[in-house]
Amino acid sequence: MRRMTVYALACFAGLLSPVAVFGQAAATASPLAAEAQGRYAQVKGFITKAAENMPAENYSYKPTPDIRTFARVVNHVTEAQFRACGALNGTSEAKPAPPETADKATIVDALKASFAECDKAFGTLSDSNVTEMVQLGSAKHSRIGIAWGTVTHDTEQYATLALYMRLKGLVPPSSEK
């Protein structure tokens, strides 16, 4: 009988533990801002590492003549981030990326500067300000809309960078062990 009671209590505790864990996570999380911040941090790491891992001689690589070079894709990320995150930070001046013929170090430094701009923007994102409207170009958008737009755009561009790396026989950061 005692064994049966212990077994029943163990089963009951096992059923309650996911509820307790879920309830605790839901009570302490800031879901809107935290989710965007987490995805931003992940794609930032992938793009930065891809830019660092691609050899300098492959920055001019493009699989076919009619598409962008690796350097141009990195520069596109840089330009888009300065624009979107600059809007979130209240700075309207556009910062151009270096020419795609610039050396790797210059291109990577510009990319890192654009991530620094986005670090500030995502760092100030909170559940209480995600619905604030911000001017971006000729229209106003919510802070969370601009943040998720940045994450989505960066993820799309990372897919291109990862493909270029694969075509050059390199393992993209998201596939490293």
What domains are there in the chain, each with its CATH number? 31-175 (1.20.120.450)
Position 14 scores a pLDDT of: 43
Position 89 scores a pLDDT of: 95
Sign of CA dihedral 7, 13, 16, 21: negative
Q: What is the DSSP letter of 154?
A: H
In whole angstroms, give the CA distance from residue 17 to residue 47.
38
Q: Is 137 left (phi over 0), alpha (psi -120 to 50) or beta?
A: left
For each of the chain's 177 residues, which pLDDT tens digit applies?
454 443 343 443 443 434 333 333 333 347 889 999 999 999 999 999 999 999 999 999 999 999 999 999 999 999 999 999 999 999 866 788 999 999 999 999 999 999 999 999 999 999 899 999 999 989 999 999 999 999 999 999 999 999 999 999 999 999 998
Position 160 scores a pLDDT of: 98
- End-to-end Cα distance, the chain: 50
- CB neighbour list of residue 147: distance below 8 Å, 6 or more residues apart: 36, 40, 88, 121, 122, 125, 130
Helices first, then strands: H and E counts in the chain: 5, 2
